[in-house]
Chain A
């Protein structure tokens, strides 16, 4: 037999009879598994545990209250407000932010050459500014006395507005910046758009379809999967929004911009009712699980 055949046979035998190298497995896997257990799964379980008590920080765990914390939430107006705010913020995310990177990517795809490269780079540039910086900038833009927003209104002769201090407008002010778009999402969408197989375009072109028609009938259906995923991500992002509320409004004025997550923070760390806060957190977890299961169900065909 040739050397090659011998080697192949050896390899095949080796593959079949390979013993699990437990030592290496332990070495490589255990630290990470421990980290996940200690810092993810255990805290998760403990949150559920905490939600069943009127948690006493000094002498844990405190008196057992069962589902009382949950029932309190269902009855409490704060919870309803927070839920309402979160839903409204999500809707504003849809209106102002969700479709923006898609359209920007579609437009970018229609441009070629240096204009394309320059535009892509300029879309990405604002990402260099740290998130806190962006929020602080927008606080100043929305400032009722000294802000650019009111200056612009003045140019058009409209009355200045209170923006972030106005309980009716504050949620819109929080989400309007999403209209600017740009950032990583545009890149991701562009990658998806450019991944569409060219033969579909060729046959459409042969049939006489113009650019717009091709975009509508070919590009969009092909990136639908990606759009769905990002829709779900927008949804979870809106559910879990914290940083922008924390920096820009601290939940105010009153409670008009308190989201569910900010509510947890307030209850657990400001009012020191950790049991109640844990209950809210569990409810948020529940909602998130439902949403992500929805995503998994929607994308099940892709993975088959």
Chain B
């Protein structure tokens, strides 16, 4: 029952108040949702769009630029290998310049086609996220000139082993076998105009024959690919998935340990002990809720060190097993079960173990659901607590995803952050999905959980 009361007709003033309440509530809801909405929008923005000031609100559709270069046998080298190398260089120069000189434009992909005597000879395409991500790993940049590109080209092109995917797709055609050169078209867009000037300065051997700009909406999801790949090398093929798996293992271990330890202890407190013994044992458990974790961290760390559990998941799960809160919830539920049930079973000769297994557990589905949800939320989002997991899980491969998010973003400064921001917003969105799913399943159970914890009702 709410302050609303029961009468149908309310005094006039009430309607005004309700209207104001609705207004304020929805404003507040919007304010509260603002960070989440901003995350969702930024996850779709391309690299530099996220760092220009003032920031754009809605993400803009990424563009694909296609540069057509024309080569002439009279000026180009005759040797096919040399020619290919030249075309590769020019393509690389064009790609790099286009990305670098248009920081405010949402460029998703640069496509370069090189035609020799009117026939397609070489083409390559480089995605923006690959460029932004790879670029930062090789060389923090400022605006380039030709000399710098030439000097650093090989180290960038031929691959830094840290960023092995800093490659672009390319295709080579037999001389004279490729499709014919398209007409010379220059898109009427700002990017096109700016780029022509940029490319002219760079002194490429091939002449810029055409420059087209089209929208490429499929590039919207590139940030998610970047985020997925933005994992330490040690994670191997799994990349970001490894961090989610780590979190999953920790959560699963924690949930199962609560099922076993907390439920059994609560059953003992509720049904196996006499009243006074139960009271004192409950205090024994609940008193730990008053101990701040910081007062236990130092010796726990030394303990884990001596047990050689540093860098293992057990090092996170074991110290978290004593959770008095769940004992409290289980106990509240078990207390509600009808006493006659137990008495009858005992009279008929059932052992306590049998009673627990065959009677209590089947009846306890609701409380197990609540505890599962709550312990999942605790361990999934927290990953064992930032302080503790950063102390225990030192190897990158073992990081749960909150720790990974922390180290991979604030751990780096400056330029890398710029291109990664869209990426880690995508990261956050991905991490939110399992929680949303669990919410959907268990939302109504949470209220029941509160009842057993004695908070509600």
B-binding residues in A (CB < 8 A): 10-11, 14-15, 18, 20-21, 24-25, 27-29, 31-33, 35-36, 39-44, 46-47, 50, 57, 60, 104, 107-112, 115, 119, 122-134, 136-141, 145-146, 148, 150-151, 154-155, 177, 179-182, 187-188, 191-198, 201-202, 204-205, 208, 210-212, 214-215, 218-219, 226, 236, 239-240, 242-243, 246-247, 261, 264-265, 268-269, 274, 277-278, 281-282, 284-285, 288-289, 292
Contact = CB atoms under 8 A, between A and B. Distances in A.
Contact of A43 (B265, B284, B296): B296
A137 B35 contact: yes
B424 interface: yes
Q: Dominant SS at the B interface? A: helix
A119 B405 contact: no
Given A11-B347, A284-B292, 9 more contacts: A28-B272, A107-B21, A122-B29, A122-B33, A128-B439, A136-B409, A137-B425, A191-B456, A198-B1
Interface in B275-303: 281, 284-285, 288, 290-300, 302-303
Given A264-B297, A265-B387, A40 B322 contact: yes
Closest 3 CB pairs of A and B: A198-B1, A24-B352, A32-B265
Contacts of B446: 187
A126 to B, nearest CB: 5
B319 A39 contact: yes
A11 B38 contact: no
A109 B5 CA distance: 11
Given A47-B299, A281-B295, A131 B382 contact: yes
Contact of B32 (A11, A181, A285): A181
A179 B27 CA distance: 13
28 contacts: A21-B352, A24-B272, A28-B268, A29-B281, A32-B262, A32-B265, A35-B318, A36-B288, A39-B318, A43-B298, A124-B439, A128-B433, A128-B436, A129-B431, A136-B424, A141-B38, A151-B55, A180-B31, A187-B447, A188-B450, A195-B456, A198-B5, A201-B3, A208-B11, A210-B11, A211-B3, A211-B17, A261-B294
Interface of B: 1-7, 10-11, 13-14, 17-18, 21-22, 24-26, 28-29, 31-36, 38-39, 50-55, 260-262, 264-265, 267-269, 272-274, 281, 284-285, 288, 290-300, 302-303, 318-319, 321-322, 327, 340, 343-344, 346-347, 351-353, 356, 380-382, 385-387, 391, 401-403, 405-406, 409-410, 421, 424-425, 427-428, 431-433, 435-436, 439, 446-447, 450, 455-457
A131 B402 contact: yes
Contacts of B436: 128
Contacts of A205: 5-7
B265 A29 contact: yes
Contacts of A125: 33, 36
A36 B33 contact: no
